[in-house]
Amino acid sequence: MKKTKMNCDSLLSGIRLRDGKSKDRTLHNEYDLRNDFDDDYARLIFSSAVRRLQDKAQVFPLDSSDFVRTRLTHSHEVSTLGRSLGISIEENLIKDKKLNARHKGKLSALLAVVGLIHDLGNPPYGHFGEAAIQRYFSNWFTNNTKGKVVCKTLKAEQVGDFTNFEGNAQTFRLLSKLNNLKDEYGYNLSAASLASILKYPRSSIEGNKNSKVRKANNLGVSYKKFGYLQSESIRFQEVKRYTEIDKYRHPASFLLEAADDIAYSAADIEDGCKKMS
């Protein structure tokens, strides 16, 4: 596979989709010294979408104990781990002259943002909820008279959005469109924040390849699921253009996955022990 050198200036792009320009506070406001991603975090931490994670189970649903983690607790832990990873990594990148010193503080702030929001689109009951939605629409399009009619009016990618429903794609939709009544671009987050949650930068047809197909076609794990719905395809293309990720994952998405794995690996054991005690 041909390797592509990515531009750090683009990967840390603070450009916002609504107006197509950076709102970098360190450049445009002498009194507000936050960078673009600190700004993103502040927009999100007070949001109803983040608060709703409190009522979503992480592992154990409907638990009466306030010790056992919810999806909100987990997201805060991933955010904290991500920020810690970012501080160490960007320090080494700057030291090795692979990252311009003017970007100091941005990678850690970016990872704090994506750690907080990486599970926003997960339905109740997590992957079980996703499976229930997928089965419902697969059955509706196949066996329901009205569903059959609707199915014929949709493109293959649109049908796939329903029959392969994916929480990651719903997260992108929530952030870029739904969750702000005053803005058609949702929270109007920076392009880099939106790119970093795209663990699967594929459509529902390009993605959703099982391990056998991926191996036969030399496709990476980013083809395992999909990351955006057709209703947000234009915004997905804008994010790709501003960050220059092309067909690849944003590097921060790998660090997000590491933080996520660390968080739930340790926490699941702790919660399990608590449940058995």
* Of 268 and 137, the one with more pLDDT: 137
pLDDT of residue 29: 61
pLDDT of residue 183: 75
- In sequence order, the β-bridge partners of residue 70 are 57
pLDDT of residue 1: 41
Mean pLDDT over 95-119 rounds to: 94
Token pair listed for 160: 């796939």
| 216 burial level (CB within 10 Å; 0-12, 13-18, 19+) | exposed
Residue of 130, 56, 68 lying closest to 269 (CA atoms): 68
Token pair listed for 104: 């100091």
Mean pLDDT over 147-165 rounds to: 95
**Residue range 35-73, pLDDT digits in tens:** 999 999 998 998 888 888 887 655 555 555 555 677 888
- The amino acid sitting at 268 is D
Token pair listed for 218: 């030399």
Residue of 105, 87, 86, 76 lying closest to 196 (CA atoms): 86
pLDDT of residue 213: 94
Percent of the chain scoring above 70 in pLDDT: 83
Q: What is the DSSP code string of 41-97? A: HHHHHT-HHHHGGGGSBSSSTT---SSS-BHHHHHHHHHHHHHHHHHHHHHHHHHTT
**Residue range 2-27, pLDDT digits in tens:** 445 668 889 998 999 887 666 554 44
First to last CA, the chain: 50
Maximum pairwise Cα distance, the chain: 63
pLDDT of residue 20: 66
Q: Which DSSP symbol is given to 31?
A: S
Asked if pLDDT for residue 155 goes beyond 70, the answer is: yes
Residue of 167, 188, 169, 165 lying closest to 47 (CA atoms): 188
Cβ contacts of 259 within 8 Å, gap of 6 or more: 78, 79, 81, 82, 85, 111, 115
**Residue range 126-147, pLDDT digits in tens:** 788 899 999 999 999 999 999 9
Q: How far apart are alpha carbons 176 and 179 in whole angstroms?
A: 8
**Residue range 214-257, pLDDT digits in tens:** 999 999 999 999 999 999 999 999 999 999 999 899 999 999 99
Mean of pLDDT over the chain:
86
Q: How far apart are alpha carbons 186 and 178 in whole angstroms?
A: 5
